[in-house]
């Protein structure tokens, strides 16, 4: 990924850029908010790491100008000292989070991995054609996707690399999807599971049961892909913010 690093402390910029480059990212340095805005216009980075307190315009003001140019630009602000009002203003104006100095680079690198959509989505449905179609659609949006038609194999997928979310059909042949949901929730209580079904009325009881178990939401077939994209992006954004909020 291309990361713009903005800080008036040149040592911090160099250290941050060096670490990002070692991890395979392209790092762009800027030393004032104004320079950061100009670099954004030239380079169009995938993400910005920016100090709040700098000579000239602040990081918050620079972020406002950047997001006027690229509205969905992911910006993480960093600071050694910030008031609650400053943090609240930054988050109101679209900052993903405000992190404390010195940066926890493991958290930053995990954030970037999630930002790149490196975590996959598991689609579970007994209809192979539905699985293939949904995989093709999600892949075009940049997501990694795994599919499974056999409910008894779902947990094997979750034992491997981390899944951002599970898209789970409620009617898997003779298997009730709520039983699979229970199994997932028992071992991975925070895993977002998005239910889908083509039997809104027939499965009303199962849908209510699934909500009580902790399903993230339920979507109905024929699936409106825009609705699914919105749900998945909401899940991804929440995880990105939760990843950074503890810092």
Instruction: Examine the domain organization and report whether 99 and 137 are in the same domain.
Output: no
CATH of the domain at 101: 3.40.50.2300
Paired tokens of 209: 């049961």
User: What pLDDT is recorded for position 161?
Assistant: 64
Domain total of the chain: 2
How many other C-beta atoms are found inside a 10 Å radius of the C-beta of residue 18? 11
- Render 13-47 in DSSP notation, one character per residue: HHHHHHHHHHTT-EEEEESSHHHHHHHHHHH--SE
Instruction: Examine the domain organization and report whether 156 and 225 are in the same domain.
Output: yes
User: What pLDDT is recorded for position 40?
Assistant: 97
Angle formed at CA 127 by CA 126 and CA 128, multiple of 5 degrees: 110
Q: What is the pLDDT along the chain (247 residues), one digit of tens a residue?
A: 899 999 999 999 999 999 999 999 999 999 999 999 999 999 999 999 999 989 999 999 999 999 999 988 899 999 887 677 777 777 788 888 888 888 889 889 888 887 876 678 999 999 999 999 999 999 998 888 999 999 999 999 988 667 889 999 999 988 999 999 999 999 999 899 999 999 888 889 999 999 999 999 999 999 998 999 999 988 988 887 777 664 4
Residue ending a domain, among 115, 147, 174, is: 115
User: What pLDDT is recorded for position 247?
Assistant: 43
User: What pLDDT is recorded for position 82?
Assistant: 65
On whether residue 89 sits in a domain, the answer given is: yes
Instruction: Examine the domain organization and report whether 84 and 186 are in the same domain.
Output: no
Nearest to 46 by CA among 116, 108, 96: 116
State how far the Cα of 10 lies from the Cα of 17, in Å rounded to an integer: 10
Instruction: Examine the domain organization and report whether 98 and 131 are in the same domain.
Output: no
On whether residue 243 sits in a domain, the answer given is: no
Instruction: Examine the domain organization and report whether 66 and 23 are in the same domain.
Output: yes
Q: Sign of the C-alpha dihedral, residues 148, 168, 160, 146?
A: positive
On whether residue 157 sits in a domain, the answer given is: yes
State how far the Cα of 206 lies from the Cα of 48, in Å rounded to an integer: 44
Q: Give the range of the structural domain holding residue 38, as residue numbers without chain letter.
A: 2-115
């Amino acid at each position: 990924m291309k990361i713009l690093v903005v800080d008036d402390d040149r040592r911090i910029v160099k250290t941050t850029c060096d670490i990002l480059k070692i991890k395979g990212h392209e790092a762009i340095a800027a030393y004032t908010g104004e320079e950061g805005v100009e670099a954004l216009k030239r380079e169009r980075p995938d993400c910005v790491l920016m100090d709040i307190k700098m000579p000239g315009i602040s990081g918050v003001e620079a972020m406002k100008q950047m997001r006027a140019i690229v509205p969905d630009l992911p910006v993480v602000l960093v600071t050694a000292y910030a008031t609650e009002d400053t943090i609240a203003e930054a988050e109101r104006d679209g900052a993903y989070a405000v992190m404390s100095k010195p940066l926890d680079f493991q958290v930053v690198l995990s954030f970037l991995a999630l930002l790149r959509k490196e975590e996959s989505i598991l689609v579970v449905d007994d209809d192979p054609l539905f699985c293939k179609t949904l995989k093709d659609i999600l892949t075009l949006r940049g997501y990694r996707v795994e599919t499974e038609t056999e409910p008894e194999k779902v947990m094997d997928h979750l034992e491997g690399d981390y899944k951002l979310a599970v898209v789970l059909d409620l009617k898997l042949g003779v298997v009730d999807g709520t039983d699979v949901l229970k199994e997932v929730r028992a071992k991975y209580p925070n895993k977002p599971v998005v239910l889908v079904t083509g039997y809104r009325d027939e499965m009303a009881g199962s849908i209510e049961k699934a909500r009580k178990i902790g399903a993230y939401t339920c979507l109905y077939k024929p699936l409106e892909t825009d609705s699914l994209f919105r749900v998945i992006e909401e899940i991804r954004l929440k995880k990105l913010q939760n990843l950074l909020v503890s810092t």
